[in-house]
């Protein structure tokens, strides 16, 4: 038998008495646990930030900064360059840029 033919044949199933299913169940449980931890940490951090930080002053400063930046030509050019960079990266990663 040719080596290519041998390598193209599927391997027989190996009986594992449910070991693979148990391992996958444990991995999925750990992934859910990590997700719950991240959500809880995010909620606690947001609650602490809303209690301790001067949100109104920060929002006011942010709004004032946006008004100043909206009148800036250099900011508009920088925003356009960033947007085009992301677009080109996306097209390149999907290989749409190379197909004519």
Q: For 1-45, how does the pLDDT look when each residue is reduced to its tens digit (9 = 90+)?
A: 688 888 888 888 888 898 989 999 999 999 999 999 999 999 999
100 part of a folded domain: no
71 part of a folded domain: yes
12 part of a folded domain: no
Domain of 29 in residue numbering reads as: 18-53
43 part of a folded domain: yes
Domains of the chain: total: 2
- What is the rounded distance in angstroms from the CA atom of residue 64 to the CA atom of residue 44? 29
27 part of a folded domain: yes
Q: Distances from the Cα of 22 to the Cαs of 29, 32, 44, in angstroms?
A: 10, 15, 33
2 part of a folded domain: no
3 part of a folded domain: no
The answer to whether the pTM exceeds 0.75 is no
């Amino acid at each position: 038998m040719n080596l290519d033919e041998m390598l193209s044949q599927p391997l027989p199933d190996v009986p594992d008495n449910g070991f693979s299913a148990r391992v996958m169940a444990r991995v999925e449980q750990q992934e859910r646990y990590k997700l719950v931890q991240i959500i809880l940490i995010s909620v606690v951090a947001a609650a602490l930030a809303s209690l301790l930080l001067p949100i109104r002053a920060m929002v006011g400063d942010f709004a004032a900064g946006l008004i100043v930046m909206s009148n800036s030509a250099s900011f508009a050019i920088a925003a356009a360059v960033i947007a085009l960079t992301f677009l080109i990266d996306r097209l390149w990663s999907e290989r749409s840029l190379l197909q004519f």
